[in-house]
Structure 1
Amino acid sequence: ARGSPEMPVLFPHSKSHTMKIFSLNVKGLNIPHKRHSLYTDISSEKPDVICLQETHFKHSAYPRLYLPQYTTQFHATSPTKTRGVSILIQNRLFETHRLLKDPGGRYIILVCTINSRTYTLVSVYAPNASQTQFISRLLNKVQDVLTGTLIICGDFNLSIDPLMDRSVGGSRPHRAASIGRLRELMTQYDLYDTWRLLHPTARDYSFRSRVHNSYTRIDYFFAPGNVLPFITDCCILPITWSDHAPVLLTAVQWSTFR
């Protein structure tokens, strides 16, 4: 399975010219104090790209994110105050090539050039049922526009390896087929769970369920095999003001990364 450490990550010798991507399910950003909490996180981590999930922004109106260093902002909103994803780019040499936004607020696919390097960036908030059907359709759309370096991140509402990625081990019986199908899709599209590759035996979690009194890892960064040698770090930060933890990916920018 692509979630297991079958393929080694070969790190470049230099860590200069890095790209940092920050991903977080914010569980709504319509309340000012939550936006302030996000601003504090961003100020601390200083990522190049910010991917947000579950912003709860509506089509008709939503608050502006006042981040002076991230004036390039893309939002996929929802008809109601549910779902919603965003991608924010730090101010620098930037060009948009393709932008696909889900009308239901489940994903953004952004093909762009940042500092002369081309990326396909995807921010995802998967439903909590029929995840693999959604992911399969999404990956088909990604494949149609894929250019340059592919990075897919977000909340997939599904653990790839329930024995390792749930505080209460084991999967729910009705999820077993979905997990198997997700692993098949990862193999089909040559996608790897970057955090697990870097931490093959570790246990860490990105989501806290107060209802079930449990923790799970359902927030991921996926990348294809040809990108893995450039990834130097992927870490899960502490859960604080959201019920999800931020996940931070760091990759080296080389000319061969294009």
Structure 2
Amino acid sequence: MASSQSHLPLRFISWNVKGINNPVKRTRVFTHLKSLRSDVVYLQETHLRSSEQIKLKKPWISQIFSSKFEDRSRGVAILIRKGIPFIPLSTVADTRRRYIIIQGRLYGKQVILANVYGPNWDDPNFYCTFLKHLPDLTESHLILGGDFNCVLNPQLDRSNPKPDSKISKAGNVLKSFMQSYAFFDPWRDKNPASKQFSFFSPVHRSYSRIDFFVVDNRILPKVLDCQYNSIVISDHSPVQLDVNFYERC
């Protein structure tokens, strides 16, 4: 696994899996996550009831944090690999199963791990509510990831943008939040003019980059790599973020 040796980075993977109720698909998803050497996993659209969270338990996973509800719509989860010294302190789980926020300590540093599955319509109020639930951001490092269902730059983050394409209201809320707190999309920071996509919409016959991470400006220099893996199993690409948590930040 990625951090089994002291000089290897901590690897975060965020992935919209589009449901893991089917045992065959679930096995394929977890086999792929293990092959990616995942340390901390953010899953969106698990489609698991509260009583089915046991299906997320695997021999290489030590901690599971998930949204709880009695239907199979939506669903998010954060999984921590065995050997990762994460100490949870508080958890906020959305009753609509669209986000989960965990405050804790990781390698002696105070962190906020936040996983979000945004609505697939333009809903700025959702992001206003979600962002208000984040704990004190001045005291903790933030690693936010997920399927935001919106883009931060329509011209670069969509395959076929219209010349007059503007950022959505939801995207504006998120972008304003990032600018206010000096938070960054690490992939875009490393690829300021590139195009790469995480999702293909068969309805619109277009690609978009709606899956990404957001980190604070103290974590950003410790980001060794941020990349999109191949679209397999789901119709979303797993997003990979490698962070050197062993250095002072």
When the two structures are aligned, how many residues end up with a matched partner? Answer: 243
- The partner residue of 1:106 within 98, 107, 120 is 98
- Are 2:31 and 1:33 equivalent residues in the alignment? no
Listed one character per residue, the Cα deviations across residues 209-254 of structure 1 (whole Å, up to 9, x for unaligned) are 1121111000010012122111111101110110100000001113
- The partner residue of 2:36 within 45, 54, 57 is 45
- Structure 2 unaligned spans of 5+: 1-5
Where 1:142 maps in the other structure, the secondary structure is coil
Give the conservation status (yes or no) of the 8 Å contact 2:57–2:64: no
Q: Which residue of 2 aligns with 1:228?
A: 220
TM-score, with structure 1 as normaliser:
0.86
Question: Which structure is richer in relative contact order (CA contacts within 8 A, separation 6 or more)?
Answer: 1
- Are 2:144 and 1:152 equivalent residues in the alignment? yes
**Equivalents in 1 of 2:96, 2:23: separation in Å?**
24
Q: Which residue of 1 aligns with 2:3?
A: none
Q: CA RMSD in A?
A: 2.2
Q: Compute the displacement of 1:188 (Å).
A: 1.9
Listed one character per residue, the Cα deviations across residues 43-100 of structure 1 (whole Å, up to 9, x for unaligned) are 2111210110011112344551242111211111334211100001011233211111
Q: Compute the displacement of 1:182 (Å).
A: 3.0
TM-score, with structure 2 as normaliser:
0.89
**Equivalents in 2 of 1:170, 1:182: separation in Å?**
21
Q: Which residue of 1 aligns with 2:241?
A: 249
**Equivalents in 2 of 1:132, 1:169: separation in Å?**
21
Q: Compute the displacement of 1:147 (Å).
A: 4.5
- Structure 1 unaligned spans of 5+: 1-14
Q: Which residue of 2 aligns with 1:73?
A: 64
Between the aligned residues of both structures, percent identity stands at 33
Listed one character per residue, the Cα deviations across residues 113-162 of structure 1 (whole Å, up to 9, x for unaligned) are 23333321001101122433212222221134775321000010001111
